[in-house]
Chain A
């Protein structure tokens, strides 16, 4: 097992190759389904939220310019809303990086299992 693992690690040109059934097996494993579910729970709502929040800006500015010109502090609503977009984008990026640490752990397990399984079966899948 150690030998085969080593050959994968030290020869970066050699890609992990596997048979169709191996890929299907990984894709249908519970580990992989968990990974996809974990990703989906974060990414889908985050994507929808930022798209809605972003397009609210041109829609409001374009169709309600008078309302958006309301003075707030030294500036107006339009400028504050535009500025808030930057901070919201950074916030979502930050939250994503945190969430992605969990994706990495789940993905690492799947990769290790796949590499181990291949090592155990010798040159299987090549």
Chain B
């Protein structure tokens, strides 16, 4: 049966390569390469934002967490949507109005461009790389499970890496956007279908469905039979630190989403701020519907497939594909698996383009060469080369880590850095007249270091494993964790803000205050905002 998933993977790859070829034929130039000439329509960008956001962590990860830990997993789903209100109310429009390609454009307006861009670029590359490695390891493990007889983990990781390099190098933002759209539509279709099948299994009776969730039966580690109400909170987040970890996660989502570089760059692909706003609303409709349906995916897997069976057939991340298999057989299993694969591929492409845009536009052009493109097309050329390098490095790290590596914390880390480093400086730059360069550099630096430092000493990396756990699955530091929470947000976000505020108050920079009015007017009215390219 393995040739069916193989065929579906190949079909998706063929479609996306077709898109890349089409995109590469379109006109070139920085605005076309980095921002798809700012001609993406509101609904298209909305779907693409949703696509960028609904990663494998959502589709496979959340379904898996709900299948094993019930209601607490659903709490993830809630935060991932609500976070978009911060994007909508605070970030999207000012960013589109005042910026060009990256979040650093907004910071560089009234602050000294070189130090600010250098730090912002470092933070962007950190977020993108961590997030990407998590996706790559996930992709390798997934493909190995699905096509074990044909493809090894290393080949799978290399394949994903090469494809993403091809999309980004040849197709730029336009191809990445359309790959994202195709994937988001597939993902929604698959999720809706799966949800309907779950409800059909329960004869379209919510009473029956939630009744079954009330007593999920499985075996615990000691082999005893356990019957649990999966709708009851507390299966994952247990006292004493559970509730605090949950709040900390919420903070990282609410403040981190609006600081994720691969989401922020999307708002530069539309013609104006109003379209950016509409695209957030489109994204919220899709993302919200998707996360509500994780109810059916996760609880469906828990009740219909059962945690015992999933544990024996690939583990938590296989919950959704296994659910598809037991509801509609191997062909549907192949379809859902191919969607999961498409999801990973599209997300890594989105991450790559945001990383390369930041490196090329912020670091190469503006930090090293003082904002001057020495010859036409240099910025795009540098971006293409850096896409190649980023891809190669990601392949290498994913291979070194191997399929059993504990990488889930990397996604938490990406959100923590985005929330603690990026968001405070974006917000203060737009809203606080007194804010200055020292504040931005201090805020980015403290937020970045606090997130990484706290995760290093958190239970994600510090724990004492029993000797049965071997290799990459072992925790990096074999000692009791110093910081009790998996999500550092509750501490690192205030630290990021404090760094930014102290840095500002301890220094004096009149020009940044003088130029505040210009940024204020530009970001709130759209006066002089970058326009869509002529075609």
CA A92 to CA B74, docked complex, whole Å: 21
Given known contacts A16-B528, A58-B250, A107-B525, A63 and B243 CB-to-CB distance under 8 angstroms: yes
Given contacts A51-B254, A58-B243, contact A82 B521 (CB under 8 A): no
B285, chain A: closest CB distance, angstroms: 7
Looking across the interface, which residue of chain A has its beta carbon closest to that of B206? Answer: A74
Asked if A89 is an interface residue, CB under 8 A from chain B, the answer is yes
Q: What is the CA–CA distance of A65 and B237 in the complex, to the nearest angstrom?
A: 11
Report the minimal beta-carbon distance from B314 to chain A, rounded to whole angstroms. 28
Tally chain B residues at the interface, Cβ within 8 Å.
60
Q: How far is the CB of A61 from chain B (nearest CB, A)?
A: 4
Pick from B85, B88, B211, B533: contact of A12, CB below 8 A. Answer: B533
Chain B proximity mask over A10-38: 1 for CB below 8 Å, otherwise 0: 00100111101001101110001001100
Residues of A contacting B84 in the complex (Cβ-Cβ under 8 angstroms): 89, 93
Q: Answer whether residue B518 sits at the interface, using C-beta atoms and an 8 A cutoff.
A: yes
User: How far apart are the CA atoms of A47 and B90 in the complex, in Å?
Assistant: 9
CB-based nearest B residue for A83: B292
Select A79's contact among B231, B274, B528, beta carbons within 8 Å: B231
Q: Is there an interface contact between B243 and A79, defined as CB atoms closer than 8 Å?
A: no
Q: Is there a chain A Cβ closer than 8 Å to B79's Cβ?
A: yes
Cβ 8 A contact of A62, one of B71, B90, B237, B514: B237
Complex interface residues of chain A between 89 and 111 (CB less than 8 A to chain B) = 89-90, 92-94, 96-97, 100, 104, 107, 110-111
Q: Quick check: is A46 within 8 A (CB to CB) of the other chain?
A: yes
Roughly how many angstroms separate A12 CA and B31 CA in the complex, as a whole number? 11
7 contacts between A and B (CB under 8 A): A78-B71, A79-B74, A79-B231, A82-B74, A96-B88, A96-B89, A100-B277
Interface residues of B (CB under 8 A from A): 71-72, 74-75, 77-79, 81-82, 84-86, 88-90, 206-207, 209-211, 229, 231-234, 237, 242-244, 246-247, 249-250, 254, 274, 277-278, 280-281, 284-285, 288, 291-292, 514-515, 517-518, 520-521, 524-528, 530-534
Q: Which residues of A are in contact with B by a Cβ distance under 8 Å?
A: 12, 15-18, 20, 23-24, 26-28, 32, 35-36, 39, 43, 46-47, 50-51, 54-55, 57-59, 61-63, 65, 68-69, 74-76, 78-79, 82-83, 85-86, 89-90, 92-94, 96-97, 100, 104, 107, 110-111, 114-115
